[in-house]
């Protein structure tokens, strides 16, 4: 599977981002913002694999 098919991401200043559309990282880790195990809404989640470009 090509990376363009499985992870869409618009975080343009991430090292792994391609064209403000896709993630090229081989794997990503996503956690809840506040360290808890439940988010309740998408906005409360964040990508821990983010790397400043
Ligand atoms: S590592 Fe996370 S923030 Fe960076 S492009 Fe991939 S999904 Fe987006």
Whether residue 33 lies inside any domain: the answer is yes
Whether residue 42 lies inside any domain: the answer is yes
Whether residue 9 lies inside any domain: the answer is yes
- Domain residue limits at 19: 3-47
Whether residue 32 lies inside any domain: the answer is yes
- For ligand 1, whether the C-beta of 50 sits within 6 Å is yes
Over 80: is that where the pLDDT of 3 sits? no
Ligand 1: atom nearest CA of 17 is 5
Higher-confidence residue: 2 or 1?
2
**Tens-place pLDDT, residues 10-47:** 999 999 999 999 999 999 999 999 899 999 999 999 99
Q: Give the count of domains, the chain.
A: 1
Please give the model's pTM, rounded to 2 decimal places: 0.86
Nearest CA among 3, 5, 13, 7 for reference residue 51: 13
Whether residue 52 lies inside any domain: the answer is no
Q: Which of 31, 47, 48 to mutate to test the pocket of ligand 1 (most atoms within 8 A of CB)?
A: 47
Whether residue 53 lies inside any domain: the answer is no
pLDDT band at 5 (very low <50, low <70, confident <90, very high): confident
Residue 48 confidence (pLDDT):
96
């Amino acid at each position: 599977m090509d990376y363009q098919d499985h992870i869409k991401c618009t975080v343009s200043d991430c090292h792994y981002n391609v064209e403000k559309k896709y993630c090229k990282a081989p794997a990503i880790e996503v956690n809840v913002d506040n360290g808890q195990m439940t988010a309740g809404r998408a906005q409360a989640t964040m990508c821990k694999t983010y790397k400043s470009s």
